[in-house]
Structure 1
């Protein structure tokens, strides 16, 4: 009997490629070389929708040593983490949807500025979104990984058993949290692995 009934995917570095150090590199031109504890908390607050994009940009503007930094420059720095979305991953997802063997859910820590950039630069974003049975973004549901309540939210929303879910995420902290709740997990390494090898890598679960 098949063990996995639901595939729960992260977005960044699973489907869309990221350059995680890029934002800090860009912020360095404004005098920020390391995020302060306060800035980290502001970023988390923005990720769960507690700050508007305008307030988030204003916060950074007032905290930069270079107060001449425009909202556009701050936004560009913030979005520099986002790279390309390889088409083979979209095709892989499309085939998964077509076969209909699994419930497909996306669960991403993200924010309004990043999603706005993706909508503008990834011309198949709406198609991508349409292949999921549910599409959860942290700033819209006011929850973020690795907090247990975000995984419990998904389980409750879809009446899922954690042992029947495979969660795919590139951040070990996130997969560790899910694993502790009984999920099967694949902590994907974006440098050496690709989501398109999902079944090959996790053969034992299927």
Structure 2
């Protein structure tokens, strides 16, 4: 006996989560303000933006990244650069960890993390978040942009995820706080939740997107 077509179309099998401002809180504006004050600039220069992107996709190492900023701002210490880079990372509310841990125990969905994240950020988080390893173990797949050499919102990162895991886009729900990222996923047929970190919380997933479940 076939299931109703409408139910089949809404069958979510895979949940794909962003990390920042979905699980761990970020201070994007504060980090930008802090960095511009440190560098005594009004805006990030083109070579800085390019270097940041290269680091985020693993095209340069942490030492090369720091060397670039040391050369550009010779009066700064290495610790100044590292602290400015990690300034964006704030607290990781434990109730969100409990949410994903419970989801993992239920085994109803394939769970994936897809994050534009780099080694310095992950090293910092591991030092500050006691349950990070257990959090990572909740996911069937844990993709960091620096490790797979791809980043959101580029289409190729979503193509990679689909191909590597034999997924169908309309059987996936992608949750991300950045609209450019969910826009790309939308265009490719994913179900999406462009979460508003100022008023929404990932733990309400099954209430907020109940039409999909």
Q: Shorter-chain TM-score: what band?
A: over 0.9
| Paired position in structure 2 for 1:22 | 30
| 1:58 partnered with 2:67 | yes
Alpha-carbon contact 1:8-1:166 (below 8 Å) kept? yes
Instruction: For 1:24 and 1:186, locate their aligned partners in 2 and report how far apart those are by CA, in whole Å.
Output: 25
- The count of aligned residue pairs is 204
Instruction: For 2:180 and 2:70, locate their aligned partners in 1 and report how far apart those are by CA, in whole Å.
Output: 30
Of 99, 108, 126 in structure 2, the residue corresponding to residue 92 of structure 1 is 99
Of 171, 177, 180 in structure 2, the residue corresponding to residue 164 of structure 1 is 171
TM-score of the two chains, using structure 2 as the length reference? 0.93
Alpha-carbon distance, 1:21 to partner: 1.8
TM-score of the two chains, using structure 1 as the length reference? 0.96
Of 103, 107, 120 in structure 2, the residue corresponding to residue 113 of structure 1 is 120
| 1:127 partnered with 2:123 | no
| Paired position in structure 2 for 1:11 | 19
Alpha-carbon distance, 1:23 to partner: 2.6
| Paired position in structure 1 for 2:148 | 141
Alpha-carbon contact 1:24-1:32 (below 8 Å) kept? no
Cα distance per residue 1:75-130 (max 9 Å; x no partner): 00110000000000000001111111100000000111101100111111100000
Alpha-carbon distance, 1:39 to partner: 1.3
Alpha-carbon distance, 1:29 to partner: 2.4
Instruction: For 2:70 and 2:33, locate their aligned partners in 1 and report how far apart those are by CA, in whole Å.
Output: 16
Alpha-carbon distance, 1:174 to partner: 0.2
Structure 1 residue matching 2:113: 3-state secondary structure = strand
Of 143, 154, 157 in structure 1, the residue corresponding to residue 161 of structure 2 is 154
- Give 4+ residue runs of structure 1 displaced > 3 Å after superposition: none
Instruction: For 1:11 and 1:32, locate their aligned partners in 2 and report how far apart those are by CA, in whole Å.
Output: 29
Q: CA RMSD in A?
A: 1.0
Alpha-carbon contact 1:166-1:183 (below 8 Å) kept? yes
Alpha-carbon distance, 1:34 to partner: 1.1
Gaps of 5+ in 2: 1-6
Instruction: For 1:30 and 1:183, locate their aligned partners in 2 and report how far apart those are by CA, in whole Å.
Output: 40
